[in-house]
Amino acid sequence: MTRIDGHELRTDLTLDCDAVVVGSGPAGSAFAAEAVRHGMSVIVVEAGRWFEPAEFAETAFAAMAAAYRGMGGSLVVGRAPMPFLQGKMVGGSSPINGAICWRLPEDVHAAWLQADPGLAGGLPWQALEDTSDALEARLSIAPTEPAIAGQKNLLMAAGAAALGLEHRPIRRNVRGCRGLGRCMQGCPEGNKLSVDRTLLADAMAAGTTVVSSAEVGSITLERGRARGVVARAEGGGQVRIRASRAVILAASAVQTPSLLLANGIGGGPVGHNFQGHPGVSMSGRFPEPVRMWEGATQGHEVIGLRREGLKFEALGFGLDVLAARLDGVGRKLARQIDDLAHHVDWGVAVKAEARGRVRRVRGRTVVTYTPTPRDVAQFRRGLRVLGEMMLAAGAEHVDPGIRGLRQPVRDSAELQRIERDGPTNPARYTAAITHMFGTARIGSDPSESVVRPDFRHHVIDSLYVADSSVFPTATGVNPQVSIMAMAQLCARSVAGVAVGAATPTRTT
């Protein structure tokens, strides 16, 4: 049996394996796929349910209610409360993200090793590159085709070219994409090669069992060693999983530290160093219809300012989300809805310097985070560049989404003034956090990190962390491929093989 549905599990169940993995997203699925190649028996436990492509909701709000943690309403708290989105389903956030694929940038890896040379043995660059090669082949990662890009992506290319900024079609893990614009809801045709349809499917074909709709609450410890986990199934039954070799946490940079804290597992800065890519967006009105809900959800990016900590992406929203962003009532609202086809939204993700924290407060997970003054200055610079690209691409006017600012903006002089003199209060900006890191960071110093360079917990033996919690810093780019690559190095560590061992390429 490779699938156990927690919705149907009303009695207690005990299972045995070599390694139990908490979380089925990019990290958990990649770990499982690699571990079974090295002869390990694996059980993956996932709090969310299975979704088949035909079950994905058509509207964004319905998708959030069904497949997102907290119904898409999770917030970081601080001076500027911001939403962060996480999938709660088999595959984690992979089935409902924008399918954007980046390798770990070499300059980011070099900075990690410069700060902590002890990481070199656990994260060798060539091993990460070779593993990424195999992942790209398995996930059919390739640039977005112009035929399915849609106008919102082609206009970004035109605007970036006019400003002389380096840009490119986004590399995505899709096959047969028809540009339906529904990546954030889940592809109804199954054309996104998310991990549930690839790496986890590979692991299951080799014998891995997936227990879905079961939330892990306890980590079983014996004499300083992790021996398994206990989960509560949606059907009411308790699932006890005994692991003879390792417990692997792959539940995200929010849920992993929360689980450690809930079980009283300290050692190092658990929950500290929460980092991410807070992003702001800008809308613009074009004289001709753009219909931004059509075409590849996110198909183009501007990378010329990446080393400054700014990465620009075309965005794609469903009609319900677009309409919810409008103000006014009655005829004013009706006129805006009638005009939606002419509007486009683009965003900029900031490699922020702010550090937050994940805590447990009265049994609940709380994330605190506030952008620094430099981060807010990056918001302003990013909005200026977004606006200049839109105007250069032919927009009549743009809306920077800054609360209390006179709108619309029609010229670059006003955009420059926003960058120079715009609000310093982060709460004035319409922002959201994507890509979270650092809350169980990897490192050689037990006082500064939670896991060792081989991904093993500094204090608890046989306990490993394989997700973006271990990243020493934010990467400045979309991390799903680097998460998978590092998780596979973690699997080799658990299996006792060299981290540089070759990963077979599978393209079926």
pLDDT at residue 1, as a whole number: 64
Q: What gap in Å lies between CA 322 and CA 362, rounded to an integer? A: 36
What is the pLDDT at residue 308? 97
Packed helices 151-163 and 373-392: angle between N→C axes, nearest 10 degrees: 100
Provide the pLDDT for residue 106.
Answer: 98
Q: What share of the chain is helix, strand, coil (3-state, %, to 5)?
A: 35, 25, 40
What is the set of domains in the chain, with CATH numbers?
3-52+85-99+102-138+194-273+450-495 (3.50.50.60), 146-178+276-433 (3.30.560.10)
Question: CA 368, CA 370: separation in Å to the nearest integer?
Answer: 7
The structure tokens listed for 493 are 């560590």
For the chain, what is the mean pLDDT? 94
Amino acid at 12: D
Give, for 246, the enclosing helix (H) or strand (E).
strand 238-249
Residue-level pLDDT at 59: 86
Residue 373 C-beta-side C-alpha neighbours within 13 Å: 2
pLDDT, residue 94, reads 97
- Give me the pLDDT at residue 347, please: 96
> Hey, what long-range contacts does 121-125 have (CB within 8 A, 24 or more apart)?
121/453, 121/454, 121/499, 122/442, 122/452, 122/453, 122/454, 122/455, 122/489, 122/493, 122/499, 123/442, 123/453, 123/486, 123/489, 123/499, 124/499, 124/500
Q: Which residues are catalytic?
A: 435
CA atoms within 13 A on the CB side of 198: 29
Tokens 């610079």, residue located = 381
The dihedral formed by the CA atoms of 59, 300, 379 and 438, expressed in degrees to the nearest 10: 80
Whole-prediction pTM value?
Answer: 0.95
What tokens does 85 get? 């989105």
- In tens digits, the chain (508 residues) has pLDDT values of 689 999 999 999 999 999 999 999 999 999 999 999 999 999 999 999 999 999 999 888 888 889 999 888 899 999 999 999 899 999 999 999 999 999 999 999 999 999 999 999 999 999 999 999 999 999 999 999 999 999 999 999 999 999 999 999 999 999 999 999 999 999 999 999 999 999 999 999 999 999 999 999 999 999 999 999 999 999 999 999 999 999 999 999 999 999 999 999 988 899 999 999 999 999 999 999 999 999 999 999 999 999 999 999 999 877 777 776 666 778 887 888 888 999 999 999 999 999 999 999 999 999 999 999 999 999 999 999 999 999 999 999 999 989 988 778 999 999 999 999 999 999 999 999 999 999 999 999 999 999 999 999 999 999 999 999 999 999 999 999 999 999 999 999 999 998 876 555 454 4
pLDDT confidence of residue 73: 82
